Amino acid sequence: MARYDNALNATGERMKTPLSVLVTGASGQLGCELRRILETGRAEIGPIPYGYEDVHVVYTDAAELDIADGDAVDAMVAQHDPDIIINCAAITDVDGCEADEERARRVNALGAYNLARAAADHDAVIVHVSTDYVFPGTEEGEREEGDEVGPLSAYGRTKQEGEELVMDAAPRHHVVRTAWLYGYGGKNFPETMLRLAADRDEISVVADQWGNPTSANDLAYEVLKIALSGSYGIWHCTNEGTCSWADLAEAVLAESDCRVVRCTTEEYRAANPNAAPRPAYSSLRNRHLEATFGNEMRPWQEALATYMANRAELRND
C-alpha cells in the first residue's frame, strides 16, 4: 500500500510513496517509453523525476483491458487501486477513424471517460494523452492550451470529446496534448519513411502542413513530471520548433539516396481521396510547462538525431 511521506508537490499537496501507477495502451509508442524510463530510471532528457522510487506499475493494453467496458475498467482500478492512471490508449489511425467514427469514439471518448470516472472514484490522478488535431489549424503560429478548438477530422472530434469527458469526470486531471509522435516501439512516420526509402528513388510528402515532431521518450519524461503536479488542467507537450512533414522526411532521410518530392495537401488528397482532413497549422506551445516547472523539451532536430542514432539498438519491431 502507498504511504504518505513528507514530500510535497508543486502546489503543496502531500505525495504518496511508493506510488502505484496504472498505464493503459502500454504497448504503444508512449507506453513503451514510459516502461523504458521507469525501468532504467532515466530518459534521454535526464533522470526521471523524484517521487518514482520503488514505484509499482501495472501495464495493460487492449488485449487485457477494453477501456470502453466500464465494468472492466472499474474492476481493474479497484484491484490495483492506483495513485495515478496514465491513459495512453487510443485509436490514432486518422484515416481509419474517418471511416469508422463510432469505433474511434468508443475508445477515444467513452474509454477515456470510464478511466476518468474510475480515477475520481478512487481519488486517483488521471493523465489523459490527447492531440494537436483537436485544433482546426486554419491560422499560422503556435496554439496554446486555452485556444479555441475545432477539429476537422473524426479522430480530432473523438479526441476532443474525450478531453471534455475526462475534465468533467475527474477533478484531478491532466490532459496532455502532443503531436507527430515517434518512439522506439510501434509504427511512426520516421520508420515509414525509412521503409519506403529502402526500395524507392523518391517519396512524395506534404509540405504545407506544419507541426512539432515529438519524441515519445521526451514526452514520457514530462508526463511523469506532470502526473505529480497539482497544477491540473490542459498541457501542451511537444518538442520545440515547427516544421512540415516534408522537412521531417528530409531530416529522417538525410543519409539516404531517396529524394523527398514536396507536394501540397490538395495534391495528396487528389491521389488519396479517402484521406481524412488534417490541420495545416497545428504547432503547439508548451505554455503550461513554461509557467510551472519549466519547459525541458528538446528542439525537434536534437531529439530526432538521438532517435536516429539509437533506433537500430532500441527498436523492438
Note if 155 is an active site residue. yes
Could you tell me which residues come within 8 angstroms of residue 281 by beta carbon, excluding any fewer than 6 positions away? 137, 138, 139, 140, 141, 143, 209, 210, 211
Contact 83, 20 (CB under 8 A): yes
User: Could you give the 3-state DSSP secondary structure of residue 284?
Assistant: strand
| DSSP 8-state secondary structure symbol assigned to residue 233 | E
Number of other residues whose CB lies within 10 A of the CB of residue 300? 24
First to last CA, the chain: 36
Q: Specify whether the backbone of 24 is left (phi greater than 0), alpha (psi in -120 to 50) or beta.
A: beta
Alpha-helical segments (H) within 66-188: 70-80, 94-99, 101-105, 112-121, 154-169
Catalytic residue among 59, 113, 133, 155: 155
Angle between the N-to-C axes of helices 245-252 and 189-197, in degrees from 0 to 180, rounded to the nearest 10? 60
CB 153 within 8 A of CB 277: yes
What SS3 state is found at 47? strand
- C-alpha–C-alpha distance, residues 114 and 120, integer Å: 10
Distance CA 309, CA 47 (A): 20
Catalytic annotation, residues: 155
